[in-house]
Amino acid sequence: MPSRKLMSMPDAVAAFIPDGASVALGLALESLIPFAAGHEIIRQRKQGLTLIGPISDILFDQLIGAGCVSRVIAAWVGNVSAGLAHNYRRALEGDKPSLVVEDHSNFSIALALRAGAMGVPYLPTRSLLGSDLLRSNPHFRIIHDDGVPLVRVPALAPAVAIVHTQRADDQGGAHCWGNLGISEDAALAARQVIVIAEEIVPSSVIRSDPNRVLLPAFKVCAVVHEPGGAHPSPVQGHYGRDHAMYHDYHQASRTAEGFARWQSEWIDSVSGRQAYLSRLGAGRWADLSRPATRTPRLAAAVDYGY
Protein backbone atom coordinates (compact mmCIF):
# COMPACT_ATOMS: atom_id res chain seq x y z
CA MET A 1 0.00 0.00 0.00
CA PRO A 2 1.38 3.48 -0.77
CA SER A 3 2.65 5.42 2.19
CA ARG A 4 0.98 8.64 3.11
CA LYS A 5 3.26 8.95 6.12
CA LEU A 6 6.60 9.67 4.47
CA MET A 7 6.88 13.44 4.13
CA SER A 8 9.26 16.37 4.37
CA MET A 9 10.09 18.00 7.67
CA PRO A 10 8.23 21.22 6.78
CA ASP A 11 5.13 19.22 5.86
CA ALA A 12 5.27 17.09 9.01
CA VAL A 13 5.66 20.10 11.29
CA ALA A 14 2.95 22.03 9.47
CA ALA A 15 0.53 19.12 9.59
CA PHE A 16 1.03 17.79 13.09
CA ILE A 17 2.30 20.60 15.30
CA PRO A 18 -0.40 23.25 15.50
CA ASP A 19 0.06 26.34 17.67
CA GLY A 20 -0.67 25.49 21.26
CA ALA A 21 0.16 21.78 20.92
CA SER A 22 1.85 19.77 23.65
CA VAL A 23 4.99 18.26 22.17
CA ALA A 24 7.27 15.68 23.80
CA LEU A 25 10.83 15.68 22.52
CA GLY A 26 14.41 15.05 23.61
CA LEU A 27 13.19 11.78 25.09
CA ALA A 28 16.44 9.80 24.92
CA LEU A 29 18.11 12.52 27.04
CA GLU A 30 21.47 13.65 25.59
CA SER A 31 21.34 11.61 22.38
CA LEU A 32 18.86 11.42 19.49
CA ILE A 33 17.58 14.95 20.13
CA PRO A 34 15.41 16.03 17.16
CA PHE A 35 17.14 19.35 16.53
CA ALA A 36 16.11 19.45 12.86
CA ALA A 37 12.45 19.18 13.85
CA GLY A 38 12.89 21.85 16.54
CA HIS A 39 14.51 24.21 14.07
CA GLU A 40 11.67 23.70 11.58
CA ILE A 41 9.18 24.49 14.37
CA ILE A 42 11.08 27.75 14.88
CA ARG A 43 11.15 28.54 11.16
CA GLN A 44 7.38 28.04 11.03
CA ARG A 45 7.02 30.44 13.99
CA LYS A 46 4.84 28.11 16.03
CA GLN A 47 3.34 29.73 19.12
CA GLY A 48 2.17 28.70 22.55
CA LEU A 49 3.66 25.21 22.56
CA THR A 50 3.91 23.11 25.69
CA LEU A 51 7.25 21.27 25.69
CA ILE A 52 7.46 17.96 27.55
CA GLY A 53 10.71 16.10 28.20
CA PRO A 54 13.08 14.81 30.84
CA ILE A 55 16.16 16.99 30.39
CA SER A 56 16.75 19.20 27.41
CA ASP A 57 20.23 19.73 26.12
CA ILE A 58 19.72 23.24 24.56
CA LEU A 59 16.85 22.44 22.19
CA PHE A 60 14.20 23.63 24.66
CA ASP A 61 16.32 26.74 25.19
CA GLN A 62 16.30 27.45 21.46
CA LEU A 63 12.54 26.99 21.15
CA ILE A 64 12.03 29.25 24.16
CA GLY A 65 14.39 31.90 22.81
CA ALA A 66 12.55 31.88 19.49
CA GLY A 67 9.26 32.58 21.23
CA CYS A 68 7.50 29.31 20.41
CA VAL A 69 6.85 28.16 23.96
CA SER A 70 4.41 29.07 26.68
CA ARG A 71 4.85 26.11 29.03
CA VAL A 72 7.66 23.70 29.92
CA ILE A 73 7.02 20.40 31.68
CA ALA A 74 10.48 19.02 32.35
CA ALA A 75 13.03 17.87 34.90
CA TRP A 76 15.99 19.91 33.71
CA VAL A 77 16.58 22.59 31.09
CA GLY A 78 20.18 23.54 30.43
CA ASN A 79 23.30 22.76 28.48
CA VAL A 80 24.70 19.49 29.76
CA SER A 81 28.37 19.99 29.03
CA ALA A 82 28.48 23.80 29.24
CA GLY A 83 26.11 25.05 31.93
CA LEU A 84 22.91 27.03 32.19
CA ALA A 85 20.30 27.67 29.52
CA HIS A 86 20.31 31.41 28.97
CA ASN A 87 16.99 31.91 27.16
CA TYR A 88 15.28 29.76 29.75
CA ARG A 89 16.79 31.91 32.51
CA ARG A 90 15.83 35.14 30.82
CA ALA A 91 12.26 33.95 30.40
CA LEU A 92 11.92 33.09 34.07
CA GLU A 93 14.06 35.45 36.08
CA GLY A 94 12.42 38.45 37.66
CA ASP A 95 8.80 39.06 38.47
CA LYS A 96 7.27 38.78 35.00
CA PRO A 97 8.09 35.31 33.74
CA SER A 98 7.02 34.77 30.14
CA LEU A 99 6.87 31.02 30.62
CA VAL A 100 5.10 28.60 32.92
CA VAL A 101 7.29 25.81 34.27
CA GLU A 102 5.98 22.58 35.78
CA ASP A 103 8.90 21.19 37.75
CA HIS A 104 9.55 17.46 37.53
CA SER A 105 12.31 15.00 38.25
CA ASN A 106 13.45 12.57 35.58
CA PHE A 107 11.57 9.76 37.29
CA SER A 108 8.39 11.76 37.77
CA ILE A 109 8.25 12.87 34.13
CA ALA A 110 8.68 9.22 33.09
CA LEU A 111 5.91 8.21 35.50
CA ALA A 112 3.60 10.96 34.24
CA LEU A 113 4.01 9.74 30.68
CA ARG A 114 3.66 6.11 31.74
CA ALA A 115 0.41 7.01 33.49
CA GLY A 116 -0.75 8.61 30.25
CA ALA A 117 0.25 5.47 28.37
CA MET A 118 -1.56 3.27 30.91
CA GLY A 119 -4.80 5.22 30.81
CA VAL A 120 -4.81 5.94 34.55
CA PRO A 121 -5.07 9.40 36.10
CA TYR A 122 -1.78 9.06 38.01
CA LEU A 123 1.03 6.81 39.17
CA PRO A 124 2.42 6.79 42.71
CA THR A 125 6.06 7.15 43.78
CA ARG A 126 8.09 7.56 46.93
CA SER A 127 10.45 9.91 45.11
CA LEU A 128 10.07 13.70 45.59
CA LEU A 129 8.79 13.41 49.17
CA GLY A 130 10.19 16.28 51.19
CA SER A 131 11.22 18.21 48.09
CA ASP A 132 9.92 21.62 47.05
CA LEU A 133 8.88 20.22 43.67
CA LEU A 134 5.68 19.39 45.54
CA ARG A 135 5.24 23.12 46.26
CA SER A 136 6.30 24.72 42.99
CA ASN A 137 4.40 22.23 40.79
CA PRO A 138 0.81 22.37 42.00
CA HIS A 139 -0.08 19.27 40.01
CA PHE A 140 1.73 17.02 42.47
CA ARG A 141 -0.17 15.92 45.56
CA ILE A 142 0.62 13.70 48.49
CA ILE A 143 -1.75 10.77 48.86
CA HIS A 144 -1.79 8.18 51.60
CA ASP A 145 -1.92 4.44 51.09
CA ASP A 146 -2.58 2.63 54.37
CA GLY A 147 -0.79 5.50 56.11
CA VAL A 148 2.18 5.49 53.74
CA PRO A 149 2.64 8.85 52.01
CA LEU A 150 3.13 8.69 48.26
CA VAL A 151 3.45 11.36 45.63
CA ARG A 152 0.61 11.35 43.13
CA VAL A 153 2.18 12.03 39.72
CA PRO A 154 -0.63 13.05 37.36
CA ALA A 155 -0.76 11.59 33.86
CA LEU A 156 0.56 13.40 30.80
CA ALA A 157 -0.55 12.52 27.28
CA PRO A 158 1.26 14.74 24.77
CA ALA A 159 -0.52 15.54 21.53
CA VAL A 160 2.66 14.65 19.66
CA ALA A 161 5.97 13.01 20.45
CA ILE A 162 8.94 13.53 18.15
CA VAL A 163 11.51 10.74 18.12
CA HIS A 164 14.75 10.63 16.22
CA THR A 165 15.73 7.10 15.15
CA GLN A 166 18.46 5.36 13.23
CA ARG A 167 16.14 3.86 10.63
CA ALA A 168 12.48 3.61 9.74
CA ASP A 169 10.26 2.27 7.02
CA ASP A 170 7.69 4.40 5.23
CA GLN A 171 4.82 2.99 7.35
CA GLY A 172 6.26 4.11 10.69
CA GLY A 173 8.11 1.00 11.78
CA ALA A 174 11.38 2.21 13.33
CA HIS A 175 14.54 0.86 14.96
CA CYS A 176 16.55 2.82 17.44
CA TRP A 177 19.37 1.82 19.74
CA GLY A 178 21.77 3.22 22.27
CA ASN A 179 20.44 5.04 25.33
CA LEU A 180 16.73 5.64 24.93
CA GLY A 181 15.68 7.32 28.17
CA ILE A 182 11.92 7.78 28.24
CA SER A 183 11.36 7.34 24.50
CA GLU A 184 9.13 4.31 24.90
CA ASP A 185 6.97 5.77 27.68
CA ALA A 186 6.50 9.02 25.75
CA ALA A 187 5.80 7.36 22.40
CA LEU A 188 3.14 5.18 24.01
CA ALA A 189 1.61 8.11 25.89
CA ALA A 190 1.47 10.46 22.90
CA ARG A 191 -1.61 10.50 20.75
CA GLN A 192 0.59 10.69 17.63
CA VAL A 193 4.28 10.27 16.94
CA ILE A 194 6.52 11.89 14.34
CA VAL A 195 9.40 9.55 13.50
CA ILE A 196 12.58 11.15 12.15
CA ALA A 197 15.08 8.72 10.65
CA GLU A 198 18.68 8.79 9.53
CA GLU A 199 17.77 6.17 6.93
CA ILE A 200 14.59 4.99 5.28
CA VAL A 201 14.73 1.24 4.80
CA PRO A 202 12.38 -1.41 3.41
CA SER A 203 9.85 -2.74 5.90
CA SER A 204 11.58 -6.10 5.69
CA VAL A 205 14.60 -4.60 7.50
CA ILE A 206 12.47 -3.34 10.37
CA ARG A 207 10.46 -6.56 10.55
CA SER A 208 13.59 -8.68 10.62
CA ASP A 209 13.96 -7.57 14.25
CA PRO A 210 10.60 -6.72 15.85
CA ASN A 211 12.11 -6.61 19.36
CA ARG A 212 14.16 -3.56 18.27
CA VAL A 213 11.08 -1.59 17.21
CA LEU A 214 10.20 1.43 19.34
CA LEU A 215 6.44 1.72 18.99
CA PRO A 216 3.50 0.38 16.99
CA ALA A 217 3.33 1.94 13.55
CA PHE A 218 -0.34 2.84 13.97
CA LYS A 219 0.73 5.58 16.42
CA VAL A 220 3.01 7.13 13.80
CA CYS A 221 1.52 10.06 11.90
CA ALA A 222 4.62 11.05 9.89
CA VAL A 223 7.97 9.60 8.88
CA VAL A 224 10.65 12.13 7.95
CA HIS A 225 13.94 11.20 6.32
CA GLU A 226 16.45 13.64 7.81
CA PRO A 227 20.09 12.48 7.87
CA GLY A 228 22.08 14.42 10.43
CA GLY A 229 18.83 15.64 11.96
CA ALA A 230 19.96 15.12 15.54
CA HIS A 231 23.19 17.13 15.27
CA PRO A 232 24.78 18.35 17.55
CA SER A 233 23.49 15.46 19.68
CA PRO A 234 24.87 12.01 18.91
CA VAL A 235 23.25 9.10 17.08
CA GLN A 236 24.80 5.74 17.93
CA GLY A 237 26.24 4.15 14.81
CA HIS A 238 25.93 7.37 12.79
CA TYR A 239 27.68 10.32 14.40
CA GLY A 240 29.19 11.53 17.63
CA ARG A 241 28.30 14.51 19.77
CA ASP A 242 29.53 17.89 18.58
CA HIS A 243 30.67 19.20 21.94
CA ALA A 244 31.99 22.43 20.42
CA MET A 245 28.56 23.34 19.11
CA TYR A 246 27.14 23.26 22.64
CA HIS A 247 29.96 25.42 23.96
CA ASP A 248 29.69 27.89 21.10
CA TYR A 249 25.95 28.09 21.65
CA HIS A 250 26.51 28.69 25.34
CA GLN A 251 28.69 31.70 24.59
CA ALA A 252 26.54 33.00 21.76
CA SER A 253 23.31 32.90 23.74
CA ARG A 254 24.54 34.79 26.79
CA THR A 255 22.53 37.79 25.58
CA ALA A 256 19.18 37.96 23.81
CA GLU A 257 20.87 39.72 20.92
CA GLY A 258 23.50 37.02 20.74
CA PHE A 259 20.83 34.37 20.60
CA ALA A 260 18.98 36.27 17.87
CA ARG A 261 22.15 36.28 15.78
CA TRP A 262 22.66 32.57 16.45
CA GLN A 263 19.05 31.84 15.45
CA SER A 264 19.43 33.85 12.30
CA GLU A 265 22.64 32.07 11.34
CA TRP A 266 21.77 28.48 12.19
CA ILE A 267 18.00 28.36 11.86
CA ASP A 268 16.31 31.16 9.97
CA SER A 269 18.84 31.59 7.22
CA VAL A 270 19.09 27.90 6.40
CA SER A 271 16.28 26.29 4.48
CA GLY A 272 16.55 22.95 6.19
CA ARG A 273 18.90 20.35 7.54
CA GLN A 274 20.94 19.89 4.38
CA ALA A 275 21.71 23.60 4.26
CA TYR A 276 22.51 23.50 7.99
CA LEU A 277 25.01 20.69 7.46
CA SER A 278 26.55 22.60 4.56
CA ARG A 279 26.98 25.59 6.83
CA LEU A 280 28.57 23.35 9.41
CA GLY A 281 31.09 22.35 6.75
CA ALA A 282 31.84 19.04 5.13
CA GLY A 283 35.05 18.57 7.08
CA ARG A 284 33.49 19.07 10.47
CA TRP A 285 30.58 16.81 9.59
CA ALA A 286 32.89 14.13 8.26
CA ASP A 287 34.90 14.25 11.48
CA LEU A 288 31.76 13.63 13.50
CA SER A 289 30.22 11.03 11.27
CA ARG A 290 33.21 9.22 9.84
CA PRO A 291 36.13 9.84 12.17
CA ALA A 292 39.38 8.17 11.20
CA THR A 293 39.24 6.08 14.33
CA ARG A 294 35.77 4.80 13.72
CA THR A 295 35.31 1.08 13.60
CA PRO A 296 31.92 -0.52 13.15
CA ARG A 297 30.79 -2.31 16.29
CA LEU A 298 28.16 -4.72 15.08
CA ALA A 299 25.63 -6.32 17.36
CA ALA A 300 25.99 -10.11 17.51
CA ALA A 301 23.74 -11.95 15.05
CA VAL A 302 20.25 -12.89 16.16
CA ASP A 303 18.22 -15.60 14.43
CA TYR A 304 14.42 -15.42 14.55
CA GLY A 305 14.07 -18.58 12.45
CA TYR A 306 12.08 -21.67 13.36
Partner 1 sequence: MVTSVGYTAQELMVAAAAREIHDGEVVFVGMRLPLIAFALAKRTHAPNAVGLFENGIVRDEPSRELLYTMGDPPNVVGAEWCTSLSNIMCLLAQGAVALGFIGGAQVDRFGNLNTSYIGDPCAPTTKLPGSGGATDIASLSHRHIIIMEHERRRLVERVDYITSPGFGDGGDWRARVGLPRGGPAALITTLSVIRFDPQTKEAYLDSCHPHSSVEEARAHTGWDLKVAPTVHMTAPPTEAELQVIRAIDPQGFWTHV
DSSP per position, 136-176: H-TT-EEEEETTEEEEEEE----SEEEEEEEEE-TTS-EE-
CB 68 within 8 A of CB 46: yes
200 or 205: whose CB is closer to its own copies?
Answer: 205
Per CB under 8 A, the segment of 4-12, 40-48, 81-89, 259-267 that binds partner 1 is 81-89
Interaction between residue 287 and partner 1 (CB under 8 A): no
**Parallel, antiparallel, or unpaired: how do β-strands 69-78 and 22-24 relate?**
unpaired
SS3 27: coil
Sign of the four-CA dihedral 131, 132, 136, 141: positive
Please pick, from the candidates 18, 178, 258, 272, the single residue that binds partner 1 as defined by CB under 8 A.
Answer: 178
CB 194 within 8 A of CB 162: yes
Interaction between residue 70 and partner 1 (CB under 8 A): no
**Residue 145: contacted member of its own copies, partner 1, none (CB under 5 to 8 Å, by partner type):** its own copies
Shortest distance, position 10 Cβ to partner 1, whole Å: 27
112 or 270: whose CB is closer to partner 1?
Answer: 112
**Residue 69: contacted member of partner 1, its own copies, none (CB under 5 to 8 Å, by partner type):** none
Q: How far apart are CA 190 and CA 23, in angstroms?
A: 9
Interaction between residue 63 and partner 1 (CB under 8 A): no
Q: How far apart are CA 235 and CA 213, in angstroms?
A: 16
Residues near its own copies (CB under 8 A) are 118-126, 145-146, 148, 150, 152, 166, 175, 177-178, 180, 201, 205-206, 208-209, 211-212, 234, 236-237, 239-240, 291, 294-306
